[in-house]
Amino acid sequence: MAGKHINVAVFMVAMLAALLQCGVAQTVHVVGDDLGWVIPQGGASAYDAWAASKKFVIGDTLVFNFATNQHDVLEVPRASFDSCSSANPIGSVITTGPANITLSAAGEHYYICTFSQHCSLGQKLSITVSSPGASPSPRTAPAPIPPPTNDTDPAACAPVPAATSPGTGIPPPPPGSSSHAITASLLFPMMSIFVYWFM
């Protein structure tokens, strides 16, 4: 009987470690917070200031809140970002809002709206993504970061709930919210059940 208790305890510790690892690595960032993904009044500096106040880590999710058929989002290389061109896209243009993009690689990432003059009017975002546990480099000018050396596979973690579009009555998650609190709130009742039934 003591062996059964030890096995359950080992299982619980392993499950806790796996869930906490997933929870810590996933933060939902609503791009522009309340502003959303639009042509900003202050030009590109509005998104620059927003990004400078955040820490982006592999496994985090960017939520671009925009109205379908009025904006879109496309990841591009730096040269295309600087010239507001959709040349050499990284992936496909996302035309339906809100758009959730999971950050899967460290380094600089660049996003633009491809509608007419939207990018040149400031609807563009540049972010620096770090490996989990790494300290972000100071944000002065975009510069490449070496690829991640972490063996963690963020794809193995549970997905982050999608934000809702503006006007639906259900607000998106608060900026900087993470699945860590959700994971913890689900984990402790599960642990109580296991302890009750198996110990």
* CATH code for position 84: 2.60.40.420
Predicted local confidence at residue 146, as pLDDT = 42
7, part of any domain:
no
**Distance, CA of 139 to CA of 53 (rounded, Å):** 10
Is there a domain that residue 104 lies in? Answer: yes
- Cis preceding linkage at 98, omega within 30: yes
How far apart CA 94 and CA 75 sit, in angstroms, is: 9
Q: Which amino acid is at 58?
A: I
Domain-embedded: residue 5: no
181 C-beta neighbours (distance < 10 Å), count: 10
Domain of residue 115, residue span: 28-175
Number of neighbouring beta carbons within 10 Å of residue 10: 10
Is residue 192 in a domain?
Answer: no
Note the pLDDT of residue 134.
61
- Per-residue pLDDT of the chain in tens (199 residues, 90 and over written 9): 555 555 555 555 455 544 544 444 489 999 999 999 999 987 778 999 999 999 999 999 999 999 999 999 999 999 999 999 999 999 999 999 999 999 999 999 999 999 999 999 999 999 999 988 765 444 444 444 344 444 444 444 444 444 444 443 434 444 444 444 444 444 455 555 555 555 5
User: How many whole angstroms separate alpha carbon 48 and alpha carbon 66?
Assistant: 18
Query: Is position 4 within any domain?
Result: no
